[in-house]
Amino acid sequence: MRPATKTLVVATKNRGKAREFSALFEPLGWEVRSLNDYDRFPDIVEDGDTFAANALIKARAVVAALGVPALADDSGLCVDALDGAPGVYSARYAGEPADDAANNAKLIAELKRRGALLAPAEAGRPALLSAARFVCALAYAEPGGRVRTAEGVCAGAIVADARGANGFGYDPHFYLPEFGLTMAELTAEQKNAVSHRAQALRQMISFWEE
């Protein structure tokens, strides 16, 4: 199922996500628009209990409202020591309105409250509080009801002190052992090579090329 157009509407108002999608699609010659390009697009109620369910809700809402193909993602952080939290509540972990700094502060406070320690600090590496993974579910929907889904996972660990100024969300606390850096310390090119979002998108593109 190939997209019918070289323009895709990505069902997000998150400017960080929109930038990442634009960077991922640009080499393919596709233009990406986000919900910020449409005046007063109403907020979409994401009441699914999985990332995939929420992605489908968003993609279908955009198709219904605009009558164009839409790509939606729902993504978040799953932390082992927190029994998979914040999970689908990642964007609003500390409550509404969504705030990255508040979410990160709650994440670290909860891990410290539970005494989480995956590995002590070593030379050149900070202490790791818990194994964790970023998960991204993508859903592509077209007028007429056809849909396609994909999922990507990026494994890492949580560090107590924020490191790096790139990225957004939980990136400053998400440590990638293979780089010895947090997600927020990676360049955009490095992140787009290994991130959960990039992995899910590669699956989606392979589906489109079938």
The Cα 129–Cα 182 span in angstroms is 13
Q: Which of 204, 206, 193, 194 is nearest to 55 (CA)?
A: 204
Is residue 157 within 8 Å of 177, Cβ to Cβ?
yes
Query: Which ranges of 67-195 would DSSP assign to H, the alpha helix?
Result: 100-113, 188-194
Binding site membership for Mg(2+): which residues?
Answer: 74
The Cα 7–Cα 1 span in angstroms is 15
Sheet holding 181-182, edge to edge: 31-34, 7-10, 70-79, 130-141, 147-158, 174-176, 181-182
The Cα 182–Cα 168 span in angstroms is 11
Of 43, 47, 73, 74, which residue is the catalytic one?
74
Is 74 a residue of the active site? yes
Binding site membership for substrate: which residues?
Answer: 12-17, 75, 168-171, 191, 196-197
Catalytic residue annotation: 74
